[in-house]
Amino acid sequence: MNQRVRAYIYKRDQYERVVATVWVRRFLFRRDVGKAMLRAGMATVYEAKMGAEFGDFEEKYRKAEAKAKRKKVGMWKGNPADYESPRDYKIRTATMNETK
């Protein structure tokens, strides 16, 4: 979208991915990209078994996701029974790979 972003990097995870909070600045205001995605129903708070990094924003992120669920926006529009969390998907596919 031809905008500059800033990332506050917390660490690299076990797969060498960068874990960070990303901000877009417009004039004097800055916007947390992750929180905006949660509000729009385009993301979910990841429930990692090893723990995840949220900085000081975990409570705000969980509230934003809960509000999107209540409003049924984005991925939450459909039947809740059809939703599979990223963690559940990893567990299911790991189990499938073990049985092969």
Average pLDDT for the chain: 87
Task: Tell me the CB-side half-sphere exposure of residue 71, using CA atoms within 13 A.
Answer: 12
pLDDT of residue 52: 67
Q: How is 39-96 classified by DSSP, letter by letter?
A: HTTS------TT----TT-HHHHHHHHHHHHHHT-GGGSS-GGG---HHHHHHHHHHH
Domain boundaries, the chain: 5-99
Q: Give me the residues of the chain with pLDDT under 50, please.
A: none
Which of the listed CATH numbers 3.90.1200.10, 3.20.20.70, 2.40.50.90, 2.40.50.100 matches domain 5-99? 2.40.50.90
pTM of the predicted protein model: 0.81
pLDDT of residue 81: 87
Answer yes or no: are the C-beta atoms of 21 and 7 closer than 8 Å: yes
